[in-house]
Amino acid sequence: MRSPTVYCGPMWGGKTEALISRLVRARIQEIPVLAFNPHLNDRYGTRDIRAHSGASFPATPVHSGEEILEVVRREQPQVVGIDEFFMIPSALAAVEYMVHRRIKVVVSTLDLDSEGVIWEGLGQLLAMAEEVVKCPAVCAVCKADAYFTFRKGYAPSERVLVGADEFYEPRCRRCFDQGQEAKRAATGEGSLFDGGS
């Protein structure tokens, strides 16, 4: 297994499903495995990593990368899975520590927020990864491959809305840009492409 392996992309792209598949395979091979889920990610409870399809894998809820390392040092796994990397402060430092100690790490994460801005630590994670798999969803507007998570105009303004499926949808670049332009027009802001504020 290449390490770190990162499954990234928008919501509904199958990232968590891919992560679970890798962890189940390691478990079948009788390799010691640990999985971690951010405490904030309570859509289905925090004791499991759970995909939209219903697939799941037992996980330890954590608030930080330091908590990940506490458990790793105690349990001595050979493979570690981290779901929703972007929600865990200092997760990058934890991944770096594990990789340098030859622990195989598999990560599932959004790469961009709903404004198309990369999450903190993701650039470094992707640069150090030995395998990166972009997992597109299906655009809710035109059904093309979707690499962006679009926040609908009536959604609350928090950067992270856990389990807020009613506020988000996957979009391709063209439909994402059109949606962002429509939101900016509705609020009287300038165009994304004309240097407006």
Residues 137 and 10: their CA atoms lie apart, in Å, by 7
**Where along the chain do its domains lie?**
5-135
Query: How much is the pLDDT for 29?
Result: 97
Q: What is the pLDDT of residue 196?
A: 45
Q: Give the span between the Cα atoms of 20 and 16, in whole angstroms.
A: 6
Q: Do 105 and 141 form a contact (C-beta atoms < 8 A)?
A: no
Whole-angstrom distance, CA of residue 62 vs CA of residue 45: 12
Q: Is the separation of the CB atoms in 29 and 18 below 8 Å?
A: no
End-to-end Cα distance, the chain: 46
Confidence of residue 158 (pLDDT cuts 50, 70, 90): confident
pLDDT band at 44 (very low <50, low <70, confident <90, very high): low
Catalytic-role residue among 17, 67, 84, 169: 84
- Residue-level pLDDT at 197: 40
Alpha carbon of 51 to those of 80, 88, 157: distances in Å?
17, 18, 25
Q: How confident is the model at residue 144 (pLDDT cuts 50, 70, 90)?
A: very high
pLDDT of 179-188, one tens digit each? 999 998 987 7
Tokens of 11: 């919501």
For residue 138, pLDDT over 60 is answered with yes
Q: Over pLDDT 90: what percentage of the chain?
A: 76
- Given a cut of 70, whether residue 190 has pLDDT beyond it is no
pLDDT at 47: 77
Catalytic status, residue 75: no
**What CATH fold (topology level) applies to the domain 5-135?**
Rossmann fold (3.40.50)
Q: What is the pLDDT of residues 87-131, one digit of tens each?
A: 999 999 999 999 999 999 999 999 999 999 999 999 999 999 999
How many other CB atoms are found less than 10 A from the CB of residue 130?
A: 13
Burial 89-100 (b: 16+ CB within 10 A, else e): eebbbbbbbbbe
Distance of CA 110 to the CA centre of its chain: 3
What are the residues facing 36 on neighbouring strands? Answer: 60, 82
**In whole numbers, what is the pLDDT of the chain averaged over residues?**
90
pLDDT at 15 over 50: yes
